Amino acid sequence: MSPAEAAERVVALTAELNEYNYQYYVLANPSISDYDFDQKLKELENLERLFPQFLDPDSPTQKVGGDITQRFTTVRHRWPMLSLSNTYSEQELRDFDVRVRKAIGDDFEYVCELKFDGLSISLTYENGLLKQAVTRGDGVQGDDVTTNVRTIKKIPNRLRTNGYPDLFEIRGEIFMHRPAFQRLNNERIENGEMAYANPRNFAAGTIKLQDSSEVARRPLDCFLYFLYSDNRNRLFSNHWESLMAVKSWGFHVCEHTALCSSIDEVLAFITKWDKERHELSYDIDGIVIKVNDYGQQEELGFTAKSPRWAISYKYKAEQVETIFHSVSYQVGRTGAVTPVANLEPVLLAGTTVKRASLHNANEIARLDLREGDTVFVEKGGEIIPKVMGVNMLKRNPDTHPIVYPSNCPECDTPLIRKEGEAVHYCPNEEGCPPQIVGRMQHFIGRKAMDIEGMGDETIETFYRHGLLHNITDIYKLKDQQDVLIGLDRFGQKSIDNMLTGIEKSKEKPFEKVLFALGIRYVGETVARKLAAHFKDIDTLTAASRTAIESVHEIGERIAESVLEYFANTTHREQLEQLKQYGLQLALVEQKVERLGDRLQGKTFVISGVFEQFSREELTALIEGHGGKMLSSISAKLDYLVAGDKMGPSKRTKAEKLNIPIISDQDLLDMIA
Ligand code: AMP
Ligand code: ZN
């Protein structure tokens, strides 16, 4: 390669890698596989070695990667958070072993750990209390996300045993288990919110939320794998011992960790987990191999970017090549259009794959996808496989880029794109069949009205026969029994069963009805909050933007969507009808379950987030024991129950009025 060619390639690779880094760290939405990324990075490293004149100090090869965001305070790491050198090949791993032997001789052990696919976090503990949690950032400094991390139940806020140093730092990986990811992601899709591509992005997005109570709602976990403190070497002689100790202090340490005395044992561990990783409830992307002994680690030392005593072996994401036939465009309940690739069926990670997600028009353009292309399909943590790229060597030159439809594939209405969103929408809410059917299916769903004897197919069939056009029609079915009995596959018994189910749904509480309406961004939790705050549909319909936004944790985006929904006269007419049919459009004051009277006559205000309880649970506990909730802090107040992240103004006010500030534990002690 001539220097001119090299210069050109270096510039191209740098631009490309910077873009991927941006997608990965800032958007938390990478468009390239780790493997391909690492290959490109290695190519750049090689070129820079051969042509050092082109090495830019800002080159992506000189960075650990950065995810610092403006919204959090930036904190400097006491010990820099380095990256690990990594490899995909057995040979390179053996080379690593040879290098280690050259430096420290033959008498040493390796610790093998799973390489968790989450986001790394550094936790500082002082006298057994969690003081600070910081993201990796660029390795030198990261974001202070302490308040969010405090809500993670698997990370102790207070250590229970003794024997830990007064001041130490512990590092680990925050992640989300796959089943929780799938459940919450499906909820998001149902609510018309952006879905996350994989558990890692979900975990990373969660840690960067401004709202800690939302973080608390999402079950995150954390495995710890590095201990740092000034007196570490006096307490332990090696990494393995420190892992056992931190486990006894109350930290979550992964049980699948092994001590190996040779590189062959390490390779056996790698092979074993390449198969068994699919059975774990969380994603791993490789194995981390660390020299065990602290003294030997020090002898080996560090390069500018990573320790010489550790390396990560990365598994290749399972990828196959297959033929891409065409795109199908699916229209969802909210009108969002999702392009799906139809593929020549191919075996991938144990299942036959026929379809893969393409996300949106930008993604299709980025891939420059053409019918008949040979594509790479990959399955990582994602539920649906993803098209990663096109094999250009196999491209037929006579093909043309895919033209994204300008009109709805279902109802031919011109599609729109909301500002700042990549997704196309069909705005024809009232006339687009999949939207009409989807809304009714959502209405009868298990988490909504939960109508027994009625399923997604029933809705579709009835819609096709002109029996159902909108949710109110469901309550008119009982007057159409003669038509129903004439339909195929509907016996008298199933009709009776269904009508009973419909009748029973009229008892569903207001919050369920509100959720069932399918207002965009109004999921179960938001519906519950709106119902509790506004108490009935008329008050909610009449509520101003300020009133809606004043509800705890309800922001602009949700308020906008709620206002838009109720401004629509069709929706208001439908609600009027539902009211006449006898649905619960107001909160029925819940009778408080009586648990005791220890708090009789006492008044309480709850503020902040709690590790063990939701606010609703605490309220139930207080009222159940005869206590009374007040809405604000005043001289009449007896106790302020304070959790994490309580506003400083509340604290000041309570202190000024001499009102005792108690913890949730103090409250439990009062009623014990
Ligand atoms: P890389 O990002 O490929 O340089 O790999 C280094 C990252 O792997 C660290 O910053 C950690 O976030 C992550 N990691 C996951 N599991 C482990 C583990 N068991 N030990 C050390 N690092 C780990
Ligand atoms: Zn349409």
Q: Residue 65 — very low, low, confident or very high, per pLDDT cuts 50/70/90?
A: very low
Whole-angstrom distance, CA of residue 75 vs CA of residue 95: 37
User: Is the CB of 21 within 6 Å of ligand 1?
Assistant: no
User: Is the CB of 138 within 6 Å of ligand 1?
Assistant: no
| Mutate-to-test residue for ligand 1 from 120, 136, 207, 280, highest number of ligand atoms within 8 A of CB | 120
User: Is the CB of 117 within 6 Å of ligand 1?
Assistant: no
Residue nearest to atom 8 of ligand 1 (CA): 115
What's the CA-to-centroid distance between 424 and ligand 2, angstroms? 11
Which atom of ligand 1 is found nearest the CA of 38?
Answer: 3
Whole-angstrom distance, CA of residue 590 vs CA of residue 588: 6
pLDDT of residue 590: 58
pLDDT in tens, 553-565: 788 888 999 999 9
pLDDT of residue 476: 95
pLDDT of residue 290: 98
Whole-angstrom distance, CA of residue 73 vs CA of residue 305: 24
Instruction: Give the closest ligand to the alpha carbon of residue 135.
Output: 1
Residue nearest to atom 2 of ligand 1 (CA): 83
Phi and psi (nearest 5°) for 222? -150, 125
Whole-angstrom distance, CA of residue 274 vs CA of residue 268: 10
pLDDT in tens, 621-672: 898 898 988 878 888 899 999 988 777 788 888 888 999 999 998 998 888 8
User: Is the CB of 190 within 6 Å of ligand 1?
Assistant: no
pLDDT of residue 458: 93
pLDDT in tens, 117-164: 999 999 999 999 999 999 998 888 899 999 889 888 889 988 878 889
Q: Going from the N-terminus, what domains does the chain have, and what CATH number goes with each?
A: 3-64 (1.10.287.610), 75-314 (3.30.470.30), 433-507 (1.10.150.20), 510-580 (1.10.150.20), 603-671 (3.40.50.10190)
Strands (E), 202-317: 221-228, 258-260, 284-291, 310-314
Q: Mean per-residue pLDDT for 508-534?
A: 91
pLDDT of residue 68: 46
Give me the half-sphere count of Cα atoms (radius 13 Å) on the Cβ side of residue 376: 17
Instruction: Mark out the alpha helices in 385-491 (DSSP H runs).
Output: 433-444, 456-464, 481-486
Whole-angstrom distance, CA of residue 446 vs CA of residue 225: 41
What sign does the dihedral 524-527-533-537 (CA atoms) show? Answer: negative
Our measurement of the distance from residue 71's CA atom to the centroid of its chain's CA atoms, rounded to an integer in Å, reads 19
Q: What is the pTM of this model?
A: 0.62
Q: Residue 339 — very low, low, confident or very high, per pLDDT cuts 50/70/90?
A: very high
pLDDT in tens, 425-484: 999 998 999 999 999 999 999 889 999 999 999 999 999 999 999 999 999 999 998 889
Instruction: Mark out the alpha helices in 465-544 (DSSP H runs).
Output: 481-486, 492-504, 510-516, 524-534, 537-542
pLDDT of residue 198: 81
The mean of the pLDDT values for the chain is 89
- Give the environment of ion ligand 2: residues with CB less than 5 A: 408, 410-411, 413, 426, 428, 432
- pLDDT surpasses 50 at 116: yes
pLDDT of residue 66: 47
pLDDT of residue 28: 57
pLDDT of residue 132: 95
pLDDT in tens, 593-608: 778 888 988 999 998 8
pLDDT of residue 591: 58
pLDDT in tens, 199-241: 888 999 899 887 777 788 889 999 999 999 988 888 999 999 9
Of the candidates 201, 205, 198, the residue with the CA atom closest to the CA atom of residue 178: 198
pLDDT in tens, 367-389: 999 999 999 998 765 567 889 88
Which atom of ligand 1 is found nearest the CA of 119?
Answer: 12
pLDDT of residue 646: 79
| Residues marked as catalytic | 115
pLDDT in tens, 42-53: 899 889 888 888
User: Is the CB of 225 within 6 Å of ligand 1?
Assistant: yes
Q: How many residues does the chain have?
A: 672
What's the CA-to-centroid distance between 438 and ligand 2, angstroms? 12
Please give the single-letter amino acid code of residue 576: E
Instruction: Give the closest ligand to the alpha carbon of residue 37.
Output: 1
Check residues 23 and 115 and name the one with the higher pLDDT. 115
pLDDT of residue 323: 96
